[in-house]
Amino acid sequence: MLMSSETMATNKDNVFDAIFGSKKKAIANVADISEQGVAILRMEFLRLSPSYNLAIKLLAQRKKLDDPKVIQQVLRLYEAPSYQMKKRGHYKKNQDRFDDKQIPIVMEIFQKVIDTAKKFGDLNDEYKGRVKVPPYAHWTSPYMNYPNVGLIGVWNERGQPHSKFLKDLEKFNTWAQDEYVYEPALVLLVPLRANTKVIKKTIDDFLKEFRDPEANTKYVEKVPLYGKRIHPDAILKKLKLLICRFMYPDLLLWELGIKANISQDYTDYHKRKGLSTRHKERLSVLTSRMLNQAMLLAENAAVGMFPMTQKNLIPNYDAEKTLERIQKRWPDLKP
């Protein structure tokens, strides 16, 4: 017979633990953060992006981009010491701030950030309910595939051994991690000899009980990923490095590289013999380059071009605020 909603709610944790394994351990170290699909990594970079979080703030305050005070706020976000801006190719030789030709370009870039913020909403929940998000942009829908209903497996299928059913569940779990990581779904027991009307009525009751009342059941546009070859492991490594930058602000670049394990060869060599001055210099260069790529990933995610590392304006990070967001996302993560 079908499980009642009360039984399902009571035994939900046990049921899912039995099918999919025990609950994930608390993440206490940066190394424990695991890759959960590129679409999910995009969300993690957006959480840390200064431009994205400024866009959320402005949306919450109902500010307009043509407001002179807002323009200055956006320009301050992207402006860095002139030597850095010249090195990045944003300033000319005698320039120390954005000129009249660059300001509209900067604001055009930030408009793209606003557009992204409208799609994904307040990921850090800093402006509770104050950011209006269109009905089609339900928090699971902008970056997930359209939720199709499908068969996971059949228990006792034509006398097949139970191991076949368990393999079907394992395949489903692997597939669902990429397709529906954040998508809630019902897993039901439906005996094939049960009355059809009873089945339909019970499933309808489950939907009413568990479905988010704000969920949009119409087709939603999937936000695309950019790039011909996407390597989740490399993206995850850059995310970990960005997190370490604010978890361990006093570390030298080479020490940061070791902490984030950006190169297993350097990490292993450091454990065995320690790094020479030359090794430290090389690792510092590698860490600096990868950290810059991590910030570009975050900013390109904010303008809707994830996971690209193409040249873009890099906003200034508020170290204290960024650390707060990291600790809110991973509360068990300790320096």
In our burial notation (b when 16+ CB lie closer than 10 A, e otherwise), range 221-255 reads eebeeeeeeeebebbbbbbbbbbbbbbeeebebbb
Instruction: With beta carbons less than 8 A apart as the criterion, state whether 254 and 284 touch.
Output: yes
Domain ranges of the chain: 38-137, 232-329
Distance between CA 173 and CA 18 in Å, rounded? 12
The 10s digit of each residue's pLDDT in 283-315 is: 999 999 999 999 999 999 999 988 888 888 899
How confident is the model over 273-285, as a mean pLDDT? 92
Higher pLDDT, 213 or 164: 164
**pTM (predicted TM-score):** 0.70
The 10s digit of each residue's pLDDT in 80-139 is: 888 888 888 888 888 888 888 999 999 999 999 999 998 888 888 887 767 765 544 444
